[in-house]
Structure 1
Amino acid sequence: MMNSLERRSTFALSSIFALRMLGLFMIIPVFAVAGQQYTGATPALIGLAVGIYGLSQACLQIPFSLWADRFSRKPLIIIGLALFAIGGAIAALSTSIYGVILGRAIAGSGAVSAVVMALLSDVTREEQRSKAMAFMGMSIGLSFMLAFSLGPWVTTKVGISGLFWVTTIMGMLAMLMLLLVPKVSRHYRVAPQGYLTQLKQVLAMGDLNRLHVSIFMLHLLLTAMFVFIPSQLIEYADIPLAKQGWVYLPLLLISLLFAFPSIILAEKYRKMRGIFITAVIAIVFGLAIMAFGDQSKYVLLLGLGLFFIAFNVMEALLPSWLSKSAPIQSKSTAMGINSSSQFLGAFCGGVLGGQLLGFAQTSWGWGLLTLLAVIWLGLTFSLKQPRYLSSIVVSLPETKKLDEWASILLAIHGIEEVVVMPEKQVAYLKLDKQQLNESSRQELSQLLGQELAI
């Protein structure tokens, strides 16, 4: 069961993530049509405007995450949210497609997704980490659901420029949510290395790279699909753009009903790998269904529903899996590479979606996306189950030399990380039970002044 600190922090950080995603993604289901009003707009530039934020995110996630492994994470998040809000304002004031592209690029340069996830892993115990990450993943899925549903509706009310102003407001609201998260100091068994050495170490881990490819492919397919499909829903399903949100909303709600049991099964019974591969298979089938029945209203909706089920499952599983597999001292760096892959995928998906709009037959576009998903599926079979750590919560000692106290704890074999929260007078000890022998248990019990049931 999460304690009050974990619940509050999880809610706040998930809300920050969701508000950013909502602001960035409301444009996706409407811009392929609404973006044609801008001066200089072409299909290729419209696709670029949709996906450009992903390119700037991909370029800056790793620098932000490397800094976050050395410095306080909260100021970096504030900087990123400020850039997000400024970029939305620039896009809202623009009358040409190039101004929108610039604004989206600046909004994307607030590349703090990995920093937010790393801060969440700091303030949650290992046993509750999966719940927290799953909650964040589901909040991301919910933000996509709301984005695809609200985007068309908001655009009919305030126009496309008003939609960009909404993203600026969301950025400012996200800054306020950060006030709910406590200040933390982190202590590791292994200190962070030089920037380049640390980056190379993380990039050399095969399973992490497969997770990076997975998030890249997931968001490439998602973004390409939502640049590609609005015009098909208008032509083949006779659903105008303003009403397409009411198509996405029930499909995504149904997908959540399937996603929740899948996430519980993956986390509680440690079936993460099996559920993950099953979700990729569902994405392949969803895209294949749309490739063979792209001109049928009900076949399109069936394929979309299957895609959304798998998407929501993977959005919940990927952050949790990554937090388990990444080296503790390089956690933010690993998450930064993953987030770079995610947003690079979104950029490539936006560009690809713009190209798909020019295909003579829509089935060719769905066929290409299906082929990419099949290639991705082949790469996932070599994934291994993640490592599981445990956590205990302890009260801080009377001493003011907390750094020394943390160093003594880290000298005990089996203790991997100590996260100190002075404001709450508690610390989380994150440990590997398999490495904690009887001598280590006794030493830890004496140091903390209590018998430990671990």
Structure 2
Amino acid sequence: MNPVERRALAGLASLYVFRMLGLFMVLPVLSLYGDEYLHSTPALLGVALGAYGLSQAILQIPLGVLSDRWGRKPVIYCGLAIFAGGSVLAAVTDSVYGLIAGRILQGAGAIAAATMALAADLTRDENRGKAMAVIGASIGVAFVLAVVLGPLVAGIGGLSAIFWLTALLALLGILLVWRLVPDPQVSLRRGPVSGDFKRLLAQGSIWRLVSGVFFLHLLLTMLFVPLPLTLVEKLGLASEAHWKLYGPLMLGAFVIMLPLMRMAEKRQQVPAAMRLALLGLICGSIALMPDVHGGWVIASLGVFFIAFNLLEALLPAQLTRVAPEACRGAATGLYATLQFLGAFVGGSLGGVLYGQGGAGAVATFGLGVLVVWSLVWWRLRRGSLASAAV
């Protein structure tokens, strides 16, 4: 990468870490501290946890389209400001309804589409896969850090301390984008974009990619509903020590994933690599099976995270190559919408399935999801995703 690409990638990857860190820190502690809020019930706390993803899914496409017309940075600045406002609301409220409102407002700062489009604008085609891999890895880094920091910060000042820290990180993100990330040399659209968006939606390759990220995040969130308890039961790993397992697994998965991604792109075998990754995702369900114990659980999760990281890097890289430049923000908006919608559906389904049939039911349903996903992709051919749309 040239200096401009490295500078842009450092800034955008750091932005992802700042933003996702604040969100992930809530996950391991919300149920522990939720009873401190007035009118709190398990159902309402579940709504508070998922409300962010729902508002994200609704607003990604509109804000992605706006980034095509107004520019990436203005949309990112506004989104981070809204996200900070939602964090402040969640920090000062003493009611679960105020918490839900704060989480909805956090999600309204939906900048994932604009951020991915900006990363694509600032990197050359041959380096885009690397850029998306680093951004995808930054989400994993944020997750690992959040598992460690969330309980520590909440132990000092409760959930409000996490939300205040989240607001501060959002404001730091604005400063970081302003000072570190270069301005893209892309002409902004001032006229109608509806024709381009309709053309975008007519491309089968676009739908294969966005359906892929929907299934991918559905599986991930569904897996994490029973996984913490599974690690306690099968490995005897205390909840506060789970980061000791996730950290090495995520780091190892990223190290292994990078050469696989480079090999797939260099040899023009990206569709084949994606299909291979689908097989790797099966291991996530295997880890939940009742008869799988000890080292096999760890090995299965390791393969799952390799496959997940590989797809997390390849899918957006291919999307930004296929989508017309004039509506790249809209394309990444559609992608981010399906990504967050998959997380919302996966978490909801995982909770219902786990309550009805335990981890085995979640694992079985996950295998069914992979079958459906494979049918969606069965027409995938070599080079079909790498060609630019015109």
With normalisation by structure 2, the TM-score equals 0.89
The answer as to whether partners of 1:152 and 1:245 remain within 8 angstroms in 2 is: no
Point out where structure 2 has 5 or more consecutive residues left out of the alignment.
Answer: none
Conservation of the 8 A alpha-carbon contact between 1:51 and 1:349: no
Residue 53 of structure 2 is matched in structure 1 by: 54
Q: 1:355 aligns with which of 352, 356, 378?
A: 352
Change over 3 Å in CA distance of 1:184–1:32 after alignment to 2: same
Task: Sort the Cα spacing of 1:361 and 1:126 in 2 relative to 1 into closer, same or farther, 3 A.
Answer: closer
1:311 to 298, 308, 313: 308
Q: Give, in angstroms, the shift of residue 77 of structure 1.
A: 0.4
Find 1:262's aligned residue among 249, 260, 263: 260
1:377 to 359, 366, 374: 374
Displacement of 1:368 after TM fit? Answer: 1.7
- Give the stretch that moved more between structures: 62-71 or 348-357: 348-357
Matched with 1:242 is 240
Q: Deviations over 1:327-354 (max 9, x none)?
A: 1111111110000111111222232233
Q: Distance between the aligned counterparts of 2:306 and 2:147, measured in 1?
A: 15
For the pair shown, the structure with the greater C-alpha radius of gyration is 1
* Aligned twin of 2:279: 281
Specify whether residues 285 and 77 from structure 1 end up closer, same or farther in structure 2 by C-alpha distance, changes over 3 A only. same
Deviations 1:159-198 (A, max 9, x none): 333222222222112111112122345238xx67634333
Matched length: 387
CA RMSD of aligned residues (A): 2.6
For 2:95 and 2:241, the matched residues in 1 are separated by 26
Whose strand fraction is larger, Structure 1's or Structure 2's? 1
Paired with 1:195 and 1:156, the residues of 2 have a C-alpha distance of 49
TM superposition shift of 1:107: 0.8
Q: Residues 306 and 236 (structure 1 numbering): CA distance in 2 closer, same or farther, change over 3 Å?
A: same
Q: Which residue does 1:126 correspond to in 2? A: 125
User: Secondary structure, in 3 states, of the residue corresponding to 1:308?
Assistant: helix
Distance 1:369 1:152 in 2: 29
Equivalent residues in 2 for 1:23-42 (5 A)?
Answer: 23-35=22-34, 38-42=37-41
Amino acid at match of 2:93: S
2:361 aligned residue: 364
Letter of the 1:59 counterpart: I
Provide the C-alpha distance between the structure 2 equivalents of 1:145 and 1:210, rounded to a whole number of angstroms. Answer: 30
SS of structure 2 residue aligned to 1:65: helix
% same residue: 40
Q: Whole-Å Cα distance in 1 between the matches of residues 56 and 213 of structure 2?
A: 14
For residues 266 and 372 of structure 1, do their structure 2 counterparts lie closer, same or farther at Cα, with a shift above 3 Å needed?
same
Matched-pair contact (CA < 8 Å) for 2:196–2:326: no
Amino acid in structure 1 at the alignment position of 2:11: A
Cα 1:224/1:156, change in 2 over 3 Å: farther
CA contact (8 A) 1:29 1:230 kept: no
Query: Residues 205-224 of structure 1: matches in 2 within 5 Å?
Result: 205-224=203-222
The structure carrying a bigger helix percent of its residues is 2
CA 1:256 to 1:154, structure 2 compared with 1: closer, same or farther past 3 Å? farther
8 Å CA contact retained: 1:118, 1:331: yes
Segment drifting more, 61-70 vs 378-387: 378-387
